[in-house]
Amino acid sequence: QVQLVESGGGLVQAGGSLRLSCAASGRTFSNYRMGWFRQAPGKEREFVAAVSSSGGSTYYAASVKGRFTISRDNAKNTVYLQMNSLKPEDTAVYYCAADPPPQSYHYYSAQSYDYWGQGTQVTVSS
């Protein structure tokens, strides 16, 4: 079992930056692949980014590649999402998720993740 708590959301102007954090409980954090997803009003939840358990591999949605960076600190049981050059279309509730081992190839699928945080709102004004 792992519990996830996101923080760092807020209101920012287009072109600005935010850093989201996700603090995880439990001693096995370093075994989990971690992901960020987002859901805008009236839309389905979509994959944003993922990082392997060691932090050595990262994956991004095409819409955020080059602007967002996912990272993790296993000593602090925390995963981060640095978001730069934000656009109004990035407005959504952002969720942190944990995928326990054994992990499949489908890092982009919400169904691969067993544990979810409560979400944090990110609003980008134009």
pLDDT at 30: 93
Share of the chain above pLDDT 70, in %: 100
Provide the Cα torsion 24, 30, 35, 36; round to 10°.
40
Q: What is the pLDDT of residues 45-101, one digit of tens each?
A: 999 999 999 999 999 999 999 999 999 999 999 999 999 999 999 999 999 999 999
Average pLDDT estimate for 23-34: 92
Which of 78, 59, 77 has its CA nearest to residue 69?
59
Which strands, in side-by-side order, build the sheet including 78-83? 4-7, 18-24, 78-83, 68-73
Q: What is the pLDDT of residue 90?
A: 98
Tell which residue, 117, 126, 112, has the closest CA to residue 39: 117
